[in-house]
Amino acid sequence: MSISSIESIASPQVNRPRIYERLTKSDVRGALYKMILIRRFEESAEDAYVRGQSYGTMHLSIGEEATAVGACAPLSDRDYVTSTHRGHGHCIAKGAEVKRMFAEFLGRETGYCRGRGGSMHIADPSKGNLGANGIVGGGIPIAVGAALSVKRRKTGAVVVCFFGDGANNEGAFHESLNMAAIWRLPVVFVCENNLYGMSVSTERSTAVNYIAQRASAYSMPGVTVDGNSFAEVAQASFDAADRARRGEGPSLIECMTYRIRGHSRSDRNRYRTKEEIETWKGRDPIDAFENELESHGLLSQSEIDAVRAEVEDEIKQGIAFAEASPSPSADDLLRDVYTI
């Protein structure tokens, strides 16, 4: 038994997750802020869509906020992430500004992609976010390349590679995890297992019970955690990032979670039951985090209320910024196809 666990038993905070010994009050407040910001960004984006203000489609991660924020907990701006088509949460967790995300969502010149990418391609390289990706599994080898690059340049950075349960059946997953392992690269593979690849359940699509089992095929540690628990995801991510920074190579973390909304706007929920959705709504990651913070004396109810009020302000200002922003000019269509 470690010294820290003896202390935690002796302390008044019985059963307080170990991760809170590593995080400051401002860290946990920041994590809650980001989780609520993700939720409110997506709810507002959904509103804008319903009101006909936005175009195309979108993939909402409502219900998966603890995974995004927990996995990014050990990261700073020098660290990288690669993201997925369901990437709003990863963006915000890695420090993106919602006003520029809203602007991208509305296809405006002030958006992260100057209106060229839309919801599915938001990136912020200045914060180490290499981009959401419309191809399932597309970001996995890119993450391995970024990890190779930071290892060569000896920056001490790590790369968190987000992907879904669907991507674990792509060839890119196999090729990439194998290369990361043989080259002992500083990458943390974070599988957001939300139980369905569009409509097909992991039960029907995947030959193992837990995707983390696949880690053993690449001689790397694999763990399955409750993806709706910030503390569990953050603990696993810190452990994996520490290992990566020590030069011991990659890890795979499987976060069990659930997307409350459909796959995209076309989803009619024919493949899952209302009861199942309701059960998962009862395991809301933000509610659970707030309860945990309060019960362990980390944040009071009034402090939580203050976080919620601040988020509302940022959302309101973000929407106003986006709505006031200019649209791109058709004359600029060919800009940025090439650098020179």
Partner 1 sequence: METPSRELTYAQAIHEALAMAMEADDRVFLLGEDIGVYGGAFQVTGDLINRFGEDRVMDTPISELGGAGVAVGAALTGMRPVFELQFSDFVTLAMEQIVNQAAKLRFMLGGAVSVPMVVRLPSGSGTGAAAQHSQALQAWLAHVPGLKVVEPSTPHDAKGLMLAAIADPDPVMVFEHKLLYKTKGPVPTGHYIVPLDKAEVRRMGSDLTIVAGGIMCGKALDAAAELAKEGVEAEVIDPRSLRPLDLGTIGESVKKTARLICVYEGVKTLGIGAEISAAICESPVFDYLDAPILRLGGAESPIPYSPILEKAAVPQTPDIIAAARRLAQGRV
Among 15, 26, 153, 268, binds partner 1 (CB under 8 A): 153
- 115/262 with CB nearer partner 1: 115
- 28/120 with CB nearer partner 1: 120
Residues 102-121 that bind partner 1 (CB under 8 A): 111-117, 121
The site string for partner 1 over 58-87 (x = CB under 8 A, - otherwise) reads ----------------------x-x-----
Among 107, 141, 197, 262, binds partner 1 (CB under 8 A): 141
Q: Does 95 bind partner 1 (CB under 8 A)?
A: no
Among 68, 72, 91, 147, binds partner 1 (CB under 8 A): 147
Q: Does 245 bind partner 1 (CB under 8 A)?
A: no
- 150/293 with CB nearer partner 1: 150
**Interacting stretch for partner 1, rule CB under 8 A, among 87-95, 129-137, 229-237, 301-309?**
129-137
- Residues 164, 134: contact at Cβ < 8 Å? no
CB of 202 to partner 1, least distance (A): 23
**Interacting stretch for partner 1, rule CB under 8 A, among 36-44, 167-175, 254-262, 296-304?**
167-175
The site string for partner 1 over 169-188 (x = CB under 8 A, - otherwise) reads --xx--xx-xx--x------
β-strands 222-226, 200-201: how paired? unpaired
CB of 288 to partner 1, least distance (A): 34
Q: Does 164 bind partner 1 (CB under 8 A)?
A: no
Q: What would the two tokens of residue 173 be?
A: 């997953």
Compute the distance between CA of residue 87 and CA of residue 138 in angstroms, rounded to an integer.
Answer: 13
**Interacting stretch for partner 1, rule CB under 8 A, among 5-13, 59-67, 147-155, 188-196?**
147-155
CB of 119 to partner 1, least distance (A): 12
Compute the distance between CA of residue 202 and CA of residue 207 in angstroms, rounded to an integer.
Answer: 8
Give backbone dihedrals phi and psi of 248, rounded to 5 degrees, phi first: -95, 0
Q: Does 167 bind partner 1 (CB under 8 A)?
A: no
- 124/192 with CB nearer partner 1: 124
Q: What would the two tokens of residue 301 be?
A: 């109810």
Compute the distance between CA of residue 108 and CA of residue 327 in angstroms, rounded to an integer.
Answer: 4
Q: Spell out a b/e string for 229-244, using b for 16 or more CB atoms within 10 Å of the CB, else e.
A: bbbbbbbbbbbbbebb
CB of 225 to partner 1, least distance (A): 26
Query: What are 10-15's contacts with CB under 8 Å, separation 24+?
Result: 13/296, 13/297
Burial class (CB in 10 A: 0-12, 13-18, 19+), 11: exposed
Q: Does 148 bind partner 1 (CB under 8 A)?
A: yes
Among 63, 131, 166, 249, binds partner 1 (CB under 8 A): 131
Q: How far is CA 116 from CA 88, 100, 120, 130, in A?
A: 16, 13, 10, 15
Burial class (CB in 10 A: 0-12, 13-18, 19+), 321: middle
Q: Does 152 bind partner 1 (CB under 8 A)?
A: yes
Q: Does 146 bind partner 1 (CB under 8 A)?
A: yes
- The strand pairing partners of 129, in sequence order, are 81, 124
CB of 175 to partner 1, least distance (A): 3
Binding residues for partner 1, per CB under 8 A? Answer: 80, 82, 111-117, 121, 123-126, 130-131, 133-135, 138, 140-150, 152-153, 171-172, 175-176, 178-179, 182, 335-340
